[in-house]
C-alpha cells in the first residue's frame, strides 16, 4: 500500500525560504556586476541623489561629457584636492583613512573624510547619500567592482559627470555653463580649481563670488594641479 502521509508544511516553507534567500543573495551580488558592466560603456542616466534633490525642489541639470571633452585641468584639480594617490591605490587609500580618523578624533567639530574618488564615484552612482554601515559595506563592494571593470580613466570620467556641484547641478559641464557661462572643455585652470573647491559642500559654498575659505582652497588646489602634473600622478587617466 502506497505511503500517503501528508507532507510537513514546515519543510515546504523551509525550502521556499532557502530559495528566497539564495535568490536575494544572487541579486545583491550579480545585479551590481551587471549594472557596472553596462555603465562601463553607457553614461549613468540618473542617481538616487538626483532623484532625492529633485523631490526637494532643487531641479535637475545634468549634461554628460566625455573626459576628452573636458579641460585637462579638471582631473588634475580633482586628484590634487580629493585623492592625491588616485593613480596608485586600488580603490582604497588606507593611509588617508588613518589620517582622517586621527583628525576627526582630535577635531570632532570638523569632520574630514578619507574616501577616495573611486569610493565617492561608487556612492554617487549606485547608492543613497545617508551615512550607515550598510551603505559603507555596499560602497566597498562596488568600489572593488568599478576598479576592476572600469579602470581609472572611466572612474574619473563618471565622477566628474555625476558629482553634485550645486543645487540641482550635477557634473562639470552643467556647473561650467551655470557658473562661468562656458563649456567644461574651455575651463581655465583657476575655474577648474574653483569648481573642485566647492565639492565638499556644494550646497553651501559658492563657485561665483566665493568666501575666503573657498578662495584659499582654490589657491591650494591650483598649486596642487602643477604638482600632480609634474609628478605624473595623473598618468593613469592619460
**107 confidence band (pLDDT: 50, 70, 90):** low
**Region for residue 146 given its phi and psi (left: phi exceeds 0; alpha: psi -120 to 50; beta: otherwise):** alpha
Percent of the chain with pLDDT over 90: 73
Q: What is the average pLDDT score of the chain?
A: 89
Q: Are 119 and 139 in contact (CB under 8 A)?
A: yes
Q: Exposed e or buried b for every residue in 36-61, given b needs 16+ CB within 10 A?
A: beebeeeebeebebbeebeeeebeeb
pLDDT of residue 8: 60
Q: Are 220 and 190 in contact (CB under 8 A)?
A: no
Residue range 181-189: mean pLDDT, rounded: 97
How far apart (Å, rounded) are the C-alpha atoms in residues 130 and 117? 18
Sequence length of the chain is 238
The answer regarding whether domain 44-237 maps to CATH 1.10.580.10 reads no
Residue range 121-143: mean pLDDT, rounded: 92
pLDDT of residue 152: 98
Q: Tens digits of per-residue pLDDT, 17-75?
A: 777 776 776 677 788 999 999 999 999 999 999 999 999 999 999 999 999 999 999 99
Higher pLDDT, 34 or 15: 34
Percent of the chain with pLDDT over 70: 88
- pTM confidence score: 0.88
- Residue written as grid cell 575655474: 191
Q: Tens digits of per-residue pLDDT, 190-208?
A: 999 999 999 989 999 999 9
- 139's CB contacts (< 8 A; 6+ apart) are 119, 122, 123, 127
How far apart (Å, rounded) are the C-alpha atoms in residues 24 and 30? 10
| Full 3-state SS string of 51-90 | HHHHHCCCCCEECCCCHHHCCCHHHHHHHHHHCCCCCCCC
Q: Give the dihedral sign, CA 162/165/168/174.
A: negative
Higher pLDDT, 227 or 101: 227
Distances (CA, A) of 24 to 21, 27, 29, 30: 5, 5, 9, 10
**113 confidence band (pLDDT: 50, 70, 90):** low
Q: What is the CA radius of gyration of the chain?
A: 22
Residue 206, SS3 per DSSP? coil
Higher pLDDT, 9 or 31: 31
- 32's CB contacts (< 8 A; 6+ apart) are 126, 138, 141, 142, 145
Residue range 70-93: mean pLDDT, rounded: 96
Amino acid at each position: 500500500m502506497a505511503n500517503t502521509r501528508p507532507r510537513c508544511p514546515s519543510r515546504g516553507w523551509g525550502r521556499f525560504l532557502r530559495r528566497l534567500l539564495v535568490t536575494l543573495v544572487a541579486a545583491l551580488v550579480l545585479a551590481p556586476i551587471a549594472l557596472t558592466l553596462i555603465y562601463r560603456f553607457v553614461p549613468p542616466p540618473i542617481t538616487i541623489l538626483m532623484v532625492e534633490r529633485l523631490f526637494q525642489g532643487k531641479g535637475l541639470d545634468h549634461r554628460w561629457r566625455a573626459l576628452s571633452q573636458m579641460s585637462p585641468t579638471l582631473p588634475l584639480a580633482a586628484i590634487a584636492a580629493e585623492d592625491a594617490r588616485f593613480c596608485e591605490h586600488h580603490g582604497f587609500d588606507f593611509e588617508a583613512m588613518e589620517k582622517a580618523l586621527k583628525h576627526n578624533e582630535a577635531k570632532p567639530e570638523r569632520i574630514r573624510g578619507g574616501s577616495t574618488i573611486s569610493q565617492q564615484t561608487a556612492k554617487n552612482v549606485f547608492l543613497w547619500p545617508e551615512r550607515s554601515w550598510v551603505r559603507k559595506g555596499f560602497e566597498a563592494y562596488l568600489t572593488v567592482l568599478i576598479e576592476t571593470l572600469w579602470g581609472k580613466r572611466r572612474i574619473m570620467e563618471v565622477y566628474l559627470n555625476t558629482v553634485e556641484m550645486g543645487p540641482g547641478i550635477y557634473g562639470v559641464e552643467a556647473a561650467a555653463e551655470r557658473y562661468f557661462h562656458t563649456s567644461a572643455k574651455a575651463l581655465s585652470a583657476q575655474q577648474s580649481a574653483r569648481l573642485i573647491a566647492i565639492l565638499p559642500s556644494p550646497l553651501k559654498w559658492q563657485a561665483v563670488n566665493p568666501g575666503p575659505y573657498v578662495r584659499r582652497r582654490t589657491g591650494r588646489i591650483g598649486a596642487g594641479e602643477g604638482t600632480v602634473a609634474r609628478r605624473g600622478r595623473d598618468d593613469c587617466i592619460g
